[in-house]
Amino acid sequence: MDQSALAHLIGYHLARASVPARRAFAQRIGRPLGLRPAEFSILQLLARNGDVTQKQLAQALLVSAPAVTVLLDRLGQRGLVCRERSARDRRAQLIRLTGAGAALARRAHRASLSMERQAFGALGPAERARLIALLERCTPAAGR
């Protein structure tokens, strides 16, 4: 089929490129570990950053605070995260990984490495770095 009418649309190419990425995620992380992409992202952010607030997570994921609340509730029900009041600012809640959450974050990170090879193995290291840099330029900065 002639797809030239769509060839100028970056969104079209992003959507097509996301198909193998979503498939690889479902195969390597989603089904085996029971994680959705946003839940995976939260676990990875918490594993790397330690105590963070819900607001920081919402900004990093470019989603609303209520959306993060739903995700954290789901992760909390699974015993993967906990919320604690900040000692410095009692109004703020800090989000932390539990032991089970940290273990799952490590497993998910290892799985993400093979997932990336599966989805984007056709790209060399320099091409991957360039693509990531270009996509980051297209992503609005949090708080703008």
Counting Cβ atoms within 10 Å, is residue 52 exposed (0-12), middle (13-18) or buried (19+)? middle
| pLDDT attached to residue 144 | 41
Q: What is the mean pLDDT of residues 52-68?
A: 94
> Which pair of tokens denotes residue 118?
């599966």
Distance CA 8, CA 21 (A): 22
In the chain, DSSP finds a helix count (H) and a strand count (E) of 7, 3
pLDDT at 71: 97
pLDDT at 37: 96
Q: Long-range contact list for 105-111, CB < 8 A, 24+ apart?
A: 105/43, 105/44, 105/46, 105/47, 106/47, 107/33, 108/29, 108/33, 108/35, 108/40, 108/43, 108/44, 109/44, 109/47, 111/28, 111/29, 111/32, 111/33
Which SS3 state, helix, strand or coil, does residue 53 take?
A: strand
Span 85-144, pLDDT tens digits: 878 877 788 999 999 999 999 999 999 998 988 888 899 999 999 999 999 998 875 444
Task: State mean pLDDT over 58-67.
Answer: 94
Average pLDDT of the chain to the nearest whole number: 92
